């Protein structure tokens, strides 16, 4: 029975991954080859040599970038089960600090790669949903005016249901994508059987010959070929939602074969009927099935948006954990998977940007010019970070690391260079978004370092302060004071403040530091670590409380648990006062950051979550003591 449940659980995760992770890359057959053969005035000819060459490039691009680089290798690099470029940054930061300059440069590059992912994450929902709904114009040109309103309505529903969690969303979308990939395979296989010669395109010689014989036209065409691998970084970033195994199973069993067979089927159709380049995807289908396929394609491209939305949640969560963003409201939506999260601020921020893109650009054709530059930039950065991990953390031989990095970078940078032509035609948008996000992330990281350093100096060591209390002998008022403290080694600013200004201290003092673990729940018996700081008769006790990511972070509940222990420090539950240190950041003239970045840090800090809500503190029993900390 247990094995049956395990198999059912694996099947559910695989189906969920199918509905969330592969939507972006799975809908590329709708437009990728059509774009290659109809690209402005440099359209690729439909000769046998060109068709075989393009299909060969598509096959090897997907195989090398997705199957080999990401699914086989890069997905081995996870940070507590999380994937994505932030996971690589976290791994690099764990390495000993003997390569400080190299690490700093790679971390900065990684942050920019993560910023590029946000830029791509805004474009993908806009272009995918808009391109699908534009299929209405094929059915009836009079419906043209409804395209934008219907697109906005679909996007509103899509972003509204994110709060339900990626597992529930994935289960709803999974069966749709299973049908989608099955139809991709069947429709492509039907044409391949009619023209089996297309199988020759599996040889890399056809792709190489096409590149060398068609010069600039072939190079520019690579900017469209790369559309077949959009979604590779989202696949990696979504690893925390469903796990490495579920994604690999779905990719190799269904997604990869279906994509390759469909692209080869489209190639065979173009060889048989060159006029089919107008829309090779839908012309693969029998005439009676094209209207239903427009509806299914609409559903599939809506689902494509889910991959990057979920990836944006994962990247944001890791950015908060790594100190690149303030504490945001992050809701865990699964009892089993720590990576399944919902971030309201990111969800609605991306939604606003997507709506602006749809209204501003007005059509998928205009948006297409902005697509690709962010994707290829992230691909290259992932390669650099991954092989630094391979060499310096996994201790693989230098020759192996260099050879692997060189091979993948050759592919990545070729695609990146081909997409540089898009910058002036719309590619500036994701680059602008990426630059803005990069400035915010690096500003918060640097500002946090400065504030933490200054705060630690003001707080001072906790044990030294407890020793000072014996000499100061402050008045001990009846009742219990609970002080929250982020750093268990230092003195809470609120505690230091009332001693210095009021010359008093509660009779019983409980200092609480919280630590969130990477398991869903921490049993009550394992939750508390109690330290009397070496002075059992001073009425002061320090508590380190461990929470699972699904446990409610309730400080009053911790205090009730502490009261049940036999302590020298008496806990008066009916005379409790909670003390919270709230720092007011002051922009100073101290060196460390430019003044405009200090003001930006101050603005971002105002969006941090309310600690009283986060820690479930009662308003009428909580005193907030402010302190000024310069930045």
pLDDT range class, residue 605, cuts 50, 70, 90: confident
pTM exceeds 0.75, yes or no = yes
pLDDT range class, residue 480, cuts 50, 70, 90: confident
In this predicted structure, the answer to whether residue 376 has a pLDDT above a threshold of 60 is: yes
Calculate the alpha carbon distances from 96 to 64, 158, 253, 403 in Å. Answer: 31, 43, 39, 24
pLDDT range class, residue 1, cuts 50, 70, 90: very low
Average of pLDDT values for 12-22?
Answer: 78
What does the domain layout of the chain look like in residue ranges?
2-426, 456-630
In this predicted structure, the answer to whether residue 427 has a pLDDT above a threshold of 90 is: no
- Which distant-in-sequence residues (6+ apart) come within 8 Å of 196 by Cβ? none
- Which distant-in-sequence residues (6+ apart) come within 8 Å of 572 by Cβ? 478, 479, 480, 507, 508
Cα–Cα distance between 57 and 53 in angstroms, integer?
A: 6
Q: What is the pLDDT of residues 100-154, one digit of tens each?
A: 788 888 888 988 988 888 887 788 888 778 877 776 776 677 777 888 898 899 8
pLDDT range class, residue 466, cuts 50, 70, 90: confident
Q: What is the pLDDT of residues 57-95, one digit of tens each?
A: 999 999 999 999 999 999 988 877 778 888 888 888 877
Q: Which residue carries 């830029």 as its tokens?
A: 119
Q: What is the pLDDT of residues 541-596, one digit of tens each?
A: 888 888 765 566 788 888 888 887 766 566 777 788 888 887 777 788 777 788 88
Q: What is the pLDDT of residues 274-296, one digit of tens each?
A: 888 878 888 888 877 777 887 88
CATH code for 2-426? 1.20.1740
Segment holding 472, helix H or strand E: helix 462-472
Q: Work out the burial of residue 195: count CB atoms within 10 Å of its CB; fewer than 13 is exposed, 13-18 middle, 19 or more buried.
A: middle
């Amino acid at each position: 029975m247990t094995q049956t449940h395990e198999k059912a659980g694996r099947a559910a995760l695989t189906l969920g991954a199918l509905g969330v992770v592969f939507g972006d890359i799975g809908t590329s057959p709708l437009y990728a080859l059509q774009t290659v053969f109809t690209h402005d005035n440099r359209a690729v000819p439909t000769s046998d040599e060109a068709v075989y060459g393009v299909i060969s490039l598509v096959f090897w691009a997907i195989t090398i970038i997705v199957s080999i680089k990401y699914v086989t290798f890069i997905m081995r690099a996870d940070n507590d089960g999380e994937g994505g470029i932030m996971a690589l940054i976290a791994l690099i930061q764990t390495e000993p600090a003997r390569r400080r300059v190299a690490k700093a440069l790679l971390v900065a590059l990684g942050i920019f790669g993560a910023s590029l992912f946000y830029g791509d994450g805004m474009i993908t929902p806009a272009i995918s949903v808009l391109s699908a709904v534009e299929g209405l114009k094929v059915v009836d040109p009079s419906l043209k005016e409804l395209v934008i309103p219907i697109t906005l309505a679909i996007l509103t529903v899509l972003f509204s249901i994110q709060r339900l969690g990626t597992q529930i969303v994935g289960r709803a979308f999974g069966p749709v994508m299973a049908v989608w990939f099955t139809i991709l395979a069947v429709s492509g296989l039907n044409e391949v059987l009619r023209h089996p010669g297309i199988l020759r395109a599996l040889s890399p010689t056809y792709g190489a010959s096409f590149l060398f014989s068609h010069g600039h036209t072939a190079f520019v065409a690579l900017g469209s070929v790369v559309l077949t691998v959009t979604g590779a970084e989202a696949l990696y970033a979504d690893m925390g939602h469903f796990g490495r195994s579920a994604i690999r199973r779905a990719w190799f069993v269904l997604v990869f074969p279906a994509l390759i067979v469909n692209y080869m089927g489209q190639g065979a159709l173009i060889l048989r009927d060159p006029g089919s380049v107008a829309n090779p995807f839908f012309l693969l289908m029998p005439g009676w099935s094209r209207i239903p396929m427009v509806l299914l394609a609409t559903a599939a491209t809506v689902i494509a948006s889910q991959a990057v939305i979920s990836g944006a949640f994962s990247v944001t969560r890791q950015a908060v954990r790594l100190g690149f963003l303030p504490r945001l409201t992050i809701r865990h939506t699964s009892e089993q998977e720590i990576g399944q999260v919902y971030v309201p601020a990111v969800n609605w921020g991306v939604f606003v940007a997507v709506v602006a893109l749809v209204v501003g650009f007005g059509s998928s054709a205009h948006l297409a010019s902005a697509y690709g530059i962010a994707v290829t930039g992230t691909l290259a950065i992932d390669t650099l970070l991954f092989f630094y991990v391979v060499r310096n953390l996994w201790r693989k031989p230098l020759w192996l690391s260099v050879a692997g990095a060189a091979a993948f970078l050759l592919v990545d940078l070729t695609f990146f260079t081909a997409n540089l032509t898009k910058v002036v035609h719309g590619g500036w948008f994701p680059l602008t978004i990426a630059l803005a996000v990069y400035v915010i992330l690096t500003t918060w990281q640097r500002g946090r370092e400065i504030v933490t350093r200054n705060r630690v100096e003001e707080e001072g060591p906790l044990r030294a302060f407890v020793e000072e209390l014996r000499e100061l002998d402050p008045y001990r008022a009846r009742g219990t004071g609970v002080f929250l403290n982020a750093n268990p080694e230092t003195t809470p600013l609120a505690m230091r403040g009332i001693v210095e200004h009021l010359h008093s201290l509660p009779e019983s003092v409980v200092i609480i530091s919280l630590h969130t673990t990477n398991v869903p729940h921490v049993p009550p018996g394992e939750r508390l670590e109690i330290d009397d700081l070496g002075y059992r008769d001073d009425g002061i006790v320090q508590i380190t409380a461990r929470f699972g990511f699904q446990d409610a972070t309730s400080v009053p509940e911790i205090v009730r648990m502490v009261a049940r222990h036999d302590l020298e420090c008496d806990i008066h539950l009916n005379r409790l006062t909670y003390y919270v240190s709230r720092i007011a950041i002051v922009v100073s003239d101290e060196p460390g950051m430019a003044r405009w970045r200090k003001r930006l840090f101050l603005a971002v800090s105002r969006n941090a979550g309310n600690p009283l809500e986060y820690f479930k503190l009662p308003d009428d029993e909580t005193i907030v003591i402010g302190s000024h900390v310069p930045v």
